[in-house]
Amino acid sequence: MTKVDWDEAFANAAYIKDGNTYPDRWRRSATAFVADQERVDLNVSYGPHLRQKFDLFWPGTEPDGLVVFVHGGYWLDFDKSYWSHLAGGACKKGWAVAIPSYVLAPEVKISEITQMIGVAIEKCAELVDGPIVLVGHSAGGHLVTRMACDPSPLQDRVRARVSRVVSISGLHDLRNLIQTQMNEQLQLDLDEATAESVALQTPITTAEIICWVGAQERPEFLSQALVLQDAWKNRVADIQVVVEPRRHHFDVIGSLTNPMSPLSLALIGAM
């Protein structure tokens, strides 16, 4: 048997042309988007830590509902300020969009981040009425699907409002991360990796589940989408995998800025 190099399997930037330039591009786009907004609530606190804040972007009319976008970065990198522009598509379709930061590993464990995101979503839900759509990218895909598992960090009244969960290039089985160098910071052991792997947990949701992944992703990310679909296909009412052509791990989220893109339309249930 060939031994798998799990560091390589989960690597992204090295396999994307100009991959290291994407964070600066995201930051510039996000900053310009915020400056152009007529109504946005910045740095709303949901906890005592400096990183426990979210930005809430409002549409021009009464919101149809709430989208919460949870960013990726392997639970180790980034904050809300890189992703503001991704609120553009849903806002233009009449939805309020919240983007939280969260405390990163190794300061906290992944299981603690899960609980933190639950608190953030509940705080956002207090501010916006209507249905809730949860969307996350990469590690954020893990965090939003984790809200739909038993036990869920969300109270029943909030979880009942969640109509759709969209995991973009999400991580659904965390066990092989134990064998990566990044685990020196993540500090995952087998018990926590198993408990936090949504593909190994029982879903408790009536929400539609969408695993969205780029066709040019690393094979592991395509596999992670199929793993969740296979695990949950007989346990939830509606789960699907969408493989978007010509997209890789860093540009697959870009079409969230376009209100008429297939991803934006799937997000709000307009396809």
Question: For residue 239, how far is the Cα from the chain centroid?
Answer: 16
pLDDT confidence band for 107 (50 / 70 / 90): very high
**Predicted pLDDT of residue 1:** 54
Q: If we measure between CA atoms, which residue out of 119, 111, 83, 110 comes closest to residue 99?
A: 83
Is residue 228 predicted with pLDDT exceeding 80? yes
Mean pLDDT over all residues of the chain? 97
Q: Under 8 Å CB-to-CB from 229, ≥6 apart: which residues?
A: 211, 239, 240, 241
Q: Across residues 80-104, what is the average pLDDT? A: 98
Q: Write the Ramachandran bin of 246: left for phi over 0, alpha for psi from -120 to 50, otherwise beta.
A: left
Say what the pLDDT of residue 140 is: 98
Read off the pLDDT of each residue in 172-193 and give the average, rounded to a whole number. 98
Three-state secondary structure string covering the chain = CCCCCHHHHCCCHHHCCCHHHHHHHHHHHHHHHHHCCCCEEEEEECCCCCCCEEEEECCCCCCCCEEEEECCCCCCCCCHHHCHHHHHHHHHCCCEEEEECCCCCCCCCHHHHHHHHHHHHHHHHHHCCCCEEEEEECHHHHHHHHCCEECCCCCHHHHCCEEEEEEECCCCCCHHHHHCCCHHHHCCCHHHHHHHCHHHCEECCCCEEEEEEECCCCHHHHHHHHHHHHHHCCCCCCEEEEEECCCCCCCCCHHHHCCCCHHHHHHCCCC
Q: Are 86 and 140 in contact (CB under 8 A)?
A: no
Please indicate, yes or no, whether the overall pTM of this predicted structure exceeds 0.95.
yes
Examine the pLDDT at 24 and tell me if it is beyond 60. Answer: yes
One-letter amino acid identity for 163?
S
What residue has token string 């969960």? 165
**Contact indicator for 253, 78 with CB cutoff of 8 Å:** no
pLDDT grade for 3, boundaries at 50, 70 and 90: confident
